[in-house]
Structure 1
């Protein structure tokens, strides 16, 4: 009997999960079919911090997630595991986050000229650190993809999944990105940082294989971002205000979801910034904005995308931040989103079946 089969045979999905394992499941990266890559990084966050602690918080909260899915047969048997948190990445995050934060404070205070020399080199130093992080994510993701695994990134801030998307671009000639977010993230080198969390969508569009970017729930963006979304034929923006207006006028969410999905190609990468949801579901995220999707709206959209025949080639969940007082609500919500989208991605690739 293989190690994988033995793990399945000896595990009770109705009992207590295994402490320290993602969702309490009995799988290691070696015998799982889907790998979660944690990236505890938030160097360029420009408002509240805490997202770097998201992966550890979700890991801890995930043991409380019930494994049964009423519409997916034996979902837990897929085999989901999380790679260990990398101490070097954590240390680099702490080092460069301190430097970037001081620089951002200087900008917000008016960029006093007497400090010019002190801060002149900071953007390139931070950009260099972010390039190294992106390369690390790329290599980690490439290694897992070459083993035939599905891969998802767990941030950290929204800058973290760029390396995964670049690795997927090596394996796929063309795909679209479905982004759930409160922010458009189309800024050019925000605050001087080329790989800012506020520039991830801009960086996605620099990858030739990304043929479509469909953004849903957006409700906070600058004029430059709006103009780019209207002028680039690859972009399709479904703002939160427009979606809600159509709902108020009588359109169903199912109908709106079908319109969103119609803009996506056959292969789709899913990027979920937790602040795309209503703030009640993510009160400690770095940049909360009123409005957004509720949990079941998000799940209906993703399930409908899978039932449409589209293939989820990868995904990320980012910007989950635990409360400063130790509150676990954000991590509980994040863990449940992570489990569900992992299973839906597996269904889309034939690794799991509908019940």
Structure 2
């Protein structure tokens, strides 16, 4: 440990030192690297989640570091590299272009109407692919260096490159997906890498053997059909069905154990803030009434590690551009960081 790490007081005032939670680690000394991906080019409702990584970083120094599941979890070493401003600038540019396409389609017109917007769509899809490739490279390098990785989006298209990097290491892993939406659309609004298509792309990765989705409540017919015809590779726990079972006397803890039973040994957690009750992250991109309480999700994750499964990575996406949303998002990131470490120690 460096002198700075030895002198660090976890009960002290959070230091604004550029690192998440004000922790005294750098890339070399940290075991967990948290990449911020300020990208939301294809959002189709509310904007602002590109600033989610910065909001979470800003709020994180207000958190106390004692964690009830892993009191000294901060000692694992957590480091967040600088949020890439070039990606944020490209996001602003391409978001403007995407808005013209979304507007055209919402008017019932085609992209080939004058002026022809198909070249614009191609340009946007290429830009999204470049961000995916950037993240893939960053994650693969970190994994090669023996690090664990987490991603903070942006919209939910953000972690695709990380899914692909994990697939290069793990021949079989599952995704536990917290979300109001299934994200199983094929090129929603023409955008190949849409925020509504992240799990559609995940299912193209053969190493991902199971997708278990929890909290779904805003879904289209095609997505339900895809789930129903997946032969069990995709398991959906719809929010209305969850609530009906709880109202009928089922316990959440037993439901958690049932949810987890579908997952393999190695599990990735993909956490979309809109999976929660909107009071927790009201400025998320596409809020939907209903959803989960924060402690409900934490209970689910605890049961995951109690089952001796290992958390191999996670993302937190769709956190809105507001102080309260950042506060909640920071708590999710820190909890998942600690639970991932705990699962690895077991």
Does residue 17 in structure 1 map to residue 19 in structure 2? no
Match of 1:339 among 329, 334, 337: 334
DSSP-derived class of the 2:64 partner: coil
Determine the structure 1 residue equivalent to 2:283.
284
Q: How many residues align?
A: 344
Determine the structure 2 residue equivalent to 1:259.
258
DSSP-derived class of the 2:156 partner: coil
Structure 2, unaligned stretches of length 5 or more? none
Determine the structure 1 residue equivalent to 2:270.
271
Determine the structure 2 residue equivalent to 1:63.
61
TM-score by length of 2: 0.97
- Seen in structure 2, the aligned counterparts of structure 1 residues 23 and 120 have a Cα distance that, compared at 3 Å, is same
Structure 1, unaligned stretches of length 5 or more? none
- Seen in structure 2, the aligned counterparts of structure 1 residues 12 and 213 have a Cα distance that, compared at 3 Å, is same
Determine the structure 1 residue equivalent to 2:80.
82
Distance in 2 between residues matched to 1:106 and 1:49, nearest whole Å: 18
Does residue 238 in structure 1 map to residue 237 in structure 2? yes
Q: CA deviation at 1:78?
A: 1.1
Q: CA deviation at 1:120?
A: 2.1
DSSP-derived class of the 2:279 partner: helix
Distance in 1 between residues matched to 2:25 and 2:11, nearest whole Å: 16
Determine the structure 2 residue equivalent to 1:35.
33
DSSP-derived class of the 2:46 partner: coil
Match of 1:197 among 162, 181, 195: 195
- For each residue in 1:166-218, what CA deviation from the matched residue of structure 2 results, as whole angstroms up to 9, or x when unmatched? 00000011100000000000001100111000000100000010000000000
Distance in 1 between residues matched to 2:110 and 2:198, nearest whole Å: 29
- For each residue in 1:1-30, what CA deviation from the matched residue of structure 2 results, as whole angstroms up to 9, or x when unmatched? x43xx3331101111122032111111122
TM-score by length of 1: 0.95
Q: CA deviation at 1:309?
A: 0.4
4+ runs deviating over 2 angstroms: 112-118
Match of 1:110 among 108, 111, 119: 108
Q: CA deviation at 1:307?
A: 1.2
DSSP-derived class of the 2:28 partner: helix
**CA-atom RMSD, angstroms?**
1.2
DSSP-derived class of the 2:311 partner: strand
Counterparts of 1:78-157 in structure 2, within 5 Å, are 78-111=76-109, 115-157=113-155
